[in-house]
Amino acid sequence: MKLFEHEAKNILMKYGIPIPEGGLATNINQAIQVAARLKPPLAIKAQVLIAGRGKAGGILFANSVEEAQKAAEKLLNTHVKGMPVKSVWIEEKIRVKKELYFGITTDRFKQCYVAVASAVGGMEIEEIAAKSPERVIKVQINPQQGLFPYHTRWIAKKIGYTGAQILELAKTFEGLYCAGRDYDAELIEMNPIVETTDGRFIAADARIILDDNALFRHPEYKKRLLGEGGELTQQELEAMKNDLAYVKLDGNIGVIGNGAGLVMATLDTIQYYGGKPANFLDVGGGAPSERTAVALRIVLSDPNVTALFINILGGITRCDEVARGILAAKETLGVTKPMAIRLVGTNEEEGKRILKEAGLHAFNSMEEAAQQVVEISRREGR
């Protein structure tokens, strides 16, 4: 779960990390109130869960309350990179001497968290690593020990600081580590953390991605994720509530399959034959017929979908259950869009018989079915 900048900054603040003075506004009146208690110049930042919002016009500046109001009017209820702006964060602009990077992420190979720091900040860390790998410092964190103050001091020193500044900077690193640990963040970063012209350190921007699988330990965020105003679309929300994995894509062939790897491979195969998938949807293992029906409803609620591809390889999943689910959904939803079905595995014969009686053909090979659906989607597209 991605957190908004204002959520991330509030967490950082709790851990003693300095952030710019600021406040959140969801409407113009609030924006005026927040701006009035701050010292200009101000930055007005659209709260959207997308990288590169600055370049996309999502951050504006103001030298007075009136200008801040205008900026808020410009941003609120518009879109930045396709994402709706439902709130803005208004904060005092800081005087930047230098932008740094500090974050904690996971190292899959070493099976641990890793602290990453760089004396170059403000752009994506992968970009920094690609351009100047020698300027990226990594410390693998021993899971039984954690990140100690001597580690953070070492990092501060390595990125070029001396004297009392080492201690101050190290303290922000330690705070970030503790925040990430306590909130089950799979990624937490200050990018940039800024050295101000008067030598202090302030987290100018913060990004936190919480581990979805740990949300049971953080019910307040789970509630926010499933509530209004989050980043999820209607389809994603419905999928999540039904324990399905759904990702919207920009093509026109709706896809349903069982198993994440198989569905990814299905999308790739559709593209291989020249088609464009409209979504990723994994109905999971043991999909009973109702889940198949919900999956169909979600996929078909995307108006771009002109044809459907259902790819089921039954292991735990039973083909007859899936076949009944397809027919039930077809009837209740009144599905008229053409579909290609691939159905093999447990109870395959029964599943195919059920479909055949309803006049539906089921393929044995996913490649053949993919070719077929690409073909019909072309015809439908005309």
Partner 1 sequence: MGILIDENTRAIVQGITGLQGSYHTKLMIEYGTKIVAGTSPGKGGTRIENVPIYDTVEEAEENHSANASIIFVPAPFATDAAMESIENGIKTIVIITEHIPIKDSISLMAFARQNHATIIGPNTPGIITPGECKLGIMPVHIFKKGSVGMISRSGTLTYEIAASLTAKKLGQSTCLGLGGDPITGLNFIDALRMFKNDKQTETVVLIGEIGGNLEELAADYIEKEKYPKPVVAYIAGRTAPPGKRMGHAGAIIMGKAGTAESKIEAFKKARVQVAEKPSDVAELMARAVHLSSMDR
Active site residues per annotation? 101, 189
What is the full DSSP assignment across 186-211?
Answer: EEEEEEEEEEETTS-EEE--EEEEE-
First to last CA, the chain: 39
Nearer to partner 1, 92 or 186 (CB): 186
User: What is the nearest approach in angstroms of partner 1 to the Cβ of residue 272?
Assistant: 6
Q: Which residues pair with 23 in a beta bridge?
A: 90
Nearer to partner 1, 153 or 352 (CB): 352
55 binds partner 1 (CB under 8 A): no
Look at residues 326, 308, 301 and name the one whose alpha carbon lies nearest to residue 255. 308
214 binds partner 1 (CB under 8 A): yes
Q: What sign does the CA torsion over 363, 366, 368, 373 have?
A: positive
The 227-256 site mask, x for binding partner 1 (CB under 8 A), equals ------------------x-x-x-------
Can you tell me which of 181, 200, 337, 353 binds partner 1, judged by CB under 8 A?
A: 181
For residue 311 the two structure tokens come to: 């790819």
Position 285, amino acid? G
Find all residues with CB under 8 Å of 350, minimum gap 6, and list them.
Answer: 319, 320, 323
Nearer to partner 1, 173 or 183 (CB): 183
144 binds partner 1 (CB under 8 A): yes
268-307 positions binding partner 1, by CB under 8 A: 268-272, 277, 280, 282, 285
User: What is the nearest approach in angstroms of partner 1 to the Cβ of residue 248?
Assistant: 9
Tokens 């410009």 belong to 74
**H helices of 41-162, where?**
65-75, 125-131, 149-158
Residue 79, phi then psi, degrees to nearest 5: -120, 140
Per-residue exposure over 15-54, b if at least 16 CB sit within 10 Å of its own CB, e if not = bebbbbebbbbbeeebbbebbeebeeebbbbbbbbeeebe
178 binds partner 1 (CB under 8 A): no
Can you tell me which of 316, 356, 358, 379 binds partner 1, judged by CB under 8 A?
A: 316
User: What is the nearest approach in angstroms of partner 1 to the Cβ of residue 312?
Assistant: 9
The 3-22 site mask, x for binding partner 1 (CB under 8 A), equals --------------------
336 binds partner 1 (CB under 8 A): no
User: What is the nearest approach in angstroms of partner 1 to the Cβ of residue 279?
Assistant: 11
As a whole number of angstroms, the distance between CA 233 and CA 241 comes to 12
Nearer to partner 1, 175 or 251 (CB): 251
For residue 112 the two structure tokens come to: 């641990």
User: What is the nearest approach in angstroms of partner 1 to the Cβ of residue 280?
Assistant: 6
Nearer to partner 1, 13 or 245 (CB): 245
Binding residues (CB under 8 A) for partner 1: these are 51, 106, 108-109, 111-113, 124-127, 130, 142-144, 181, 184, 186-187, 211-214, 216-217, 245, 247, 249, 257-265, 267-272, 277, 280, 282, 285, 313-316, 344-346, 365-367
